[in-house]
Chains A and B, each alone.
Chain A
């Protein structure tokens, strides 16, 4: 099958490559760009481990063709840290609140949570849970992931984070 030339912006850098039309975006990101922070979990559009941000949308990159990302602006987990290399508010939140155990779902969770907080800077707990309902975690029971996102929201909003009473 003839290959197609694609160009896109990933984490601020212009990238290009030759792909078959059937190449999934997540494979292009992992295998062509060698950005392996984006994980492949279920491969059936359920688990959200492969979530990246594309032109302001959270997208499961296992369910989009690389050719469809032509000209788009993509952020992966490798692009979320602050410019000086320090942890973003969400990364810090996941660390401080123990928002991960095995860590497999974390890149997708953080990318999804980042978009959620941009659309809704002060989400309620219910809005956070609905907002991450396309991302599975099989370790934490979600409790500490929700806390991590609340921590990050408060940090971004400049308010002191107070854990809800148990």
Chain B
């Protein structure tokens, strides 16, 4: 399988990339790691006339600490996330989740920016960004802007990105000291997208849950923040009744597609189980 014909552009700056994407219009696509877009092009499900490869832009890579935030360049690969001591220390749930994305070869090329900006409901990192309260830096023909991850996802493959805009970096508040975390992903095999997955970050105080955020992957056309579910466990000691209430509140907002990963009822059912497991494991890790 060979992609349809296209012109290849390799700009050396964000300004040049934005300029190319705005000038070339709808038939131009930015190319990050390429491990979603290139397979889609080979299947002719995507047929862009122009590819704007972001690999030539210095400064879109790297992980740095900025006060209480971790700033990650959009072209940072999942392999680089996994190799980062800063991520392992400040955002261990990002390390845990990146290890569950695809397989080693894909992680050498796949980028955090591509994973977040593609808007694929099956991608693992968007729900995590909702839970962590991340902000995305977008650069476009009208200048730059910051947008909360919670405002970014509008539908399957449909995001707040305006024509000509690209995601350049992600800013994530470092998780609280002593927090507990877990990403529970049910998948058919290594490398698969989630049948259902849940991300949990929480803090405990005096044996009770003080703060909690729960994110859901591939259980709706966008990633979801399960706020009612989180509220169901805050103030509790995560007893069985609270856990059941949380799982039920999470299931209530799920509307997964029926596909090869299972029918709707099954995916909602296992989605509730992922929430329960993630809460339990996160609480056990909290101090």
Contacts and interface: CB of A to CB of B under 8 A. Distances in A.
Given A22-B4, A68-B55, A134 B39 contact: no
B38 A63 contact: yes
A64 B38 contact: yes
Given A45-B39, A57-B109, A68-B53, A22 B5 contact: yes
Interface in A1-35: 1-2, 4, 20-24, 27
A29 to B, nearest CB: 14
Contacts of B41: 22
A92 interface: no
B105 A51 contact: yes
Interface string A92-132: 00000000000000000000100010000000000000111
Contact of B105 (A20, A58, A68): A58
A134 B6 contact: no
Interface residues of B, number: 29
A43 to B, nearest CB: 5
A134 B8 contact: no
A116 B105 CA distance: 11
B16 interface: no
A68 B39 CA distance: 15
B170 to A, nearest CB: 22
B190 A133 contact: yes
A45 B35 contact: yes
A133 B109 contact: no
A67 interface: yes
B103 A57 contact: no
Interface centre among B5, B51, B103, B106 (most CB of A within 10 A): B103
Interface string B35-77: 1001101110000000101010000000000000000000000
Interface string B1-32: 11111111010000000000000000000000
Contacts of A23: 2
Interface string A117-161: 000000000000011111000000000000000000000000000
Interface string B164-190: 000000000000000000000000001
A59 interface: yes
7 pairs of A and B residues whose beta carbons are closest in the complex: A134-B103, A21-B8, A57-B108, A133-B190, A134-B105, A1-B5, A22-B3
